[in-house]
Amino acid sequence: MKPFLSALILVFCAALAPAQEATPVVSSVHHATEGHVWGALIFATNDASQLTGAQEPVHTELPKLNERLAKVFPFKHFEILGQHRQDIFREYESWVVPSRDLFMKIDSKGPADKGGVNLHLQVWREQQVLVKSDAVLRKDSPLFIGGPPWKEGRLIFVLFLERK
Predicted confidence band of residue 29 (pLDDT cuts 50, 70, 90): very low
For the chain, the domains span 31-163
* pLDDT the model gives residue 107: 92
* pLDDT the model gives residue 15: 36
Predicted model pTM: 0.74
pLDDT at 36 over 60: yes
The pLDDT tens digits for 102-140 are 889 999 998 898 888 999 999 998 889 988 999 999 988
Q: What percent of the chain has pLDDT over 90?
A: 45
The pLDDT tens digits for 4-27 are 333 333 333 333 334 444 444 444
* pLDDT the model gives residue 18: 41
CA dist 107 to 12, 27, 132, Å? 40, 23, 11
Instruction: Please state, in angstroms and rounded to a whole number, the distance separating the CA atoms of residues 103 and 123.
Output: 6
* pLDDT the model gives residue 31: 60
